Amino acid sequence: MKDAAIKGIIPPILTPMNDDESVNEKELRHQVNRMIEAGVHGIFAFGTNGESYALSPEEKVRVLEVVVDETRHRVPVYAGTGCVTTAETIKMSKKAQEIGADVLSVIVPWFAAASQDELYDHYKAVAEAVDLPIVLYNIPARTGNALAPATVARLAKDVPNIMGAKDSSGNFDNMKQYIELTSGLDKGFSVLSGNDSLILPALVFGGKGGIAGCANVFPHTMVEIYTAFTAGDMERARKVQDSIRIFRNCFKFGNPNTIVKLAAGLLGDPVGPCRRPFCKITDQGMAELKKTLELCKANGLH
């Protein structure tokens, strides 16, 4: 799938854990099939919801091997290969290409402050080292570095295999500028929402879909946002988009990754908790999460 279309609903698939915090490969395979059977348009290994920050390089390699093997070319496989340094990112990106990933998602480097010129040079070097489409990943609240719209436009114009950008800033105007500044490129360029509440607005303004953490809990519902929109049923698309708000409101009780993984477990998928220390919510939060999931089920989310 070298020319994989970057569009639709792509879950950053959970990395299931055993009680000893080792990766549960059997359940990972089940989650791959669960997502594909729900109609998702790609599988994204070790994204933020996949606890990329908590996995060793060796574990990332094994997770990707399992995902690629189980997906069997039914949908494109995305791999989150971004690291702090350019050299590490190139190494991980080359390994992902060797394993069989179809698309690379490269998060903005974190911790140390980076200028826009440094970010441009970083992404250009990574893209030139591999022969796969690359999706830029902007999530400044987690990385401390923001990828400016002008830098996204410059990279999209200058680097042939930089084919998309995921915006998780939560700032819709920022994502809208990504769309506006790249919309005229002949090669095509896909802007994806990294905020599940903004998938439909992104689509309306020319975006191509979303990398949707909530799809790990309600894959059919998240896919329906895209399906209804592409079918021209805006009323249905709006209704489905709005339906996930009550679940997202539970993110106030803890790390969103923790909430998503706990919710999947409560609904019957034995994915285990997030790796410590990012694994707990208060008793009140758990009670509210259980109540919310019951309401979601009653409202038809699945």
The set of catalytic residues is 137, 166
CB atoms within 10 A of CB 247: 23
Tokens of 149: 């719209």
| Cα distance between residue 286 and residue 138, in whole Å | 30
Spatial distance between the Cα atoms of 103 and 233, rounded to a whole number of angstroms: 30
d(CA 162, CA 9): 19
CA dihedral 70, 73, 75, 78 (to 10 degrees): 80
Name the residue type at position 90.
I
The helix-helix angle for 172-182 and 149-158 (nearest 10°) equals 30
| Contact yes or no for 16/56 (Cβ under 8 A) | no
Query: Is the distance from CB of 155 to CB of 136 less than 8 angstroms?
Result: yes
| Residue type for position 170 | G
Q: Is 293 helix (H, G, I), strand (E, B) or coil?
A: helix
